Amino acid sequence: MSGARRVVITGGAAGLGRAMAEAFLAAGDRVAVCDADAQAVAAIRAAHPEMLAEIADVTDPAALGAFLAGVEAAWGGADIVCANAGTGGPAGRIDEIGYEDWHHCLAVNLDGAFLTCRWAAPILRAQGHGLILLTSSISGLFGFPQRTPYVAAKWGIVGLTKALASELGPSGVRVNAICPGAVEGPRMDRVIAMEAAARGQTEDDVRRGFTEAVALRRFVRAEEVAAMALFLASEGASAITGQALVVDGHTERVA
């Protein structure tokens, strides 16, 4: 895979998805993103008119399918498919979690990834090359309390990665997950506010707890996660598959 690769990213109009989209664009690749947030899609279209950007919710198989079919029609395939769309889900003890909230968190994080991978797999298999990149989390490697839906979904992403890597490896297709730690930005600000309310702590205490649980004693930056995506898509990573690669400053304990 070299030259102008064809890169598809779900949840790609903001946050980590946008950082990855912009990193691939800067590397000279072609990029298509979908996102459920119409305003974010309008903003990324305005910033990058060369990018294919559509409104599609990954929990809506018809809308996601229409976006992916459009990509396939425009490009005749894809080289790098990033199942990135995710949501933090609710915070609270398991007996405080509503079934609808549980299911919505699983639907965005896990069902969306399943649908994206199900589209990508036959295309990449037929080409005999390609990369599927899933966004898990440090929550896919540790058991953070009061976040059962998100933790279960992100461990599920690691399982999906392992199984699919074994399924597609013989066809020359690689599958990896990135596990970011807490990323600086509005999404983490929302998570901190939610966890502070659930734990009865101040937001400063929750933020300090997250930071002190990490060897580098800081949050990571979206660009640092995008750099890992670019590495995994590079020739240098040609033997790396079935892995959950962590970009977190080294989490030493559950905050």
Ligand X SMILES: NC(=O)c1ccc[n+]([C@@H]2O[C@H](COP(=O)([O-])OP(=O)(O)OC[C@H]3O[C@@H](n4cnc5c(N)ncnc54)[C@H](O)[C@@H]3O)[C@@H](O)[C@H]2O)c1
| Alpha helix (H) residue ranges in the chain | 15-26, 38-47, 61-75, 99-106, 112-127, 148-168, 186-199, 203-212, 222-232
Rounded to the nearest whole angstrom, what is the least distance from the CB of residue 251 to ligand X in the complex?
11
In the block, tokens 């013989």 appear at 170
Secondary structure (3-state) at 140: helix
Residue 35, CA atoms < 13 Å, CB-side half-sphere: 22
CA distance 223 to 155: 23
**By the rule CB under 6 A, 35 interacts with ligand X:** yes
C-beta closer to ligand X: residue 121 or 177: 177
C-beta closer to ligand X: residue 88 or 130: 88
C-beta closer to ligand X: residue 86 or 130: 86
> Which one from 150, 155, 210, 219 is the annotated catalytic residue?
150
Q: Give the amino acid at 93.
A: R
How many other CB atoms sit within 10 Å of the CB of residue 50?
8
Q: Which among 93, 248, 86 is positioned nearest to 154, based on CA atoms?
A: 86
Rounded to the nearest whole angstrom, what is the least distance from the CB of residue 211 to ligand X in the complex?
13
C-beta closer to ligand X: residue 42 or 126: 42
Tell me whether residue 99 is one of the annotated catalytic residues: no
Rounded to the nearest whole angstrom, what is the least distance from the CB of residue 199 to ligand X in the complex?
18
**By the rule CB under 6 A, 183 interacts with ligand X:** yes
Q: Could you tell me which residues come within 8 angstroms of residue 100 by beta carbon, excluding any fewer than 6 positions away?
A: none
How many chain residues bind ligand X (CB under 6 A)? 27
**By the rule CB under 6 A, 8 interacts with ligand X:** no
Secondary structure (3-state) at 11: coil
**By the rule CB under 6 A, 68 interacts with ligand X:** no
Piece in contact with ligand X (CB under 6 A), picked from 14-22, 125-133, 199-207, 232-240? 14-22
167 sits in the region (left: phi over 0; alpha: psi -120 to 50; else beta) called alpha
**Overall residue count recorded for the chain in this entry:** 255
Q: What is the DSSP letter of 236?
A: G
Piece in contact with ligand X (CB under 6 A), picked from 30-38, 70-78, 119-127, 226-234? 30-38
CA distance 211 to 152: 23
Binding mask 74-103 for ligand X (x = CB under 6 A): ----------xxxx----------------
**By the rule CB under 6 A, 36 interacts with ligand X:** yes
**By the rule CB under 6 A, 15 interacts with ligand X:** yes
Q: What is the DSSP letter of 133?
A: E
C-beta closer to ligand X: residue 124 or 182: 182
**By the rule CB under 6 A, 137 interacts with ligand X:** yes
- Please report, as residue ranges, which positions from 98 to 117 form the binding site for ligand X (by CB under 6 A): 108, 112
Residues labelled as active-site residues:
150
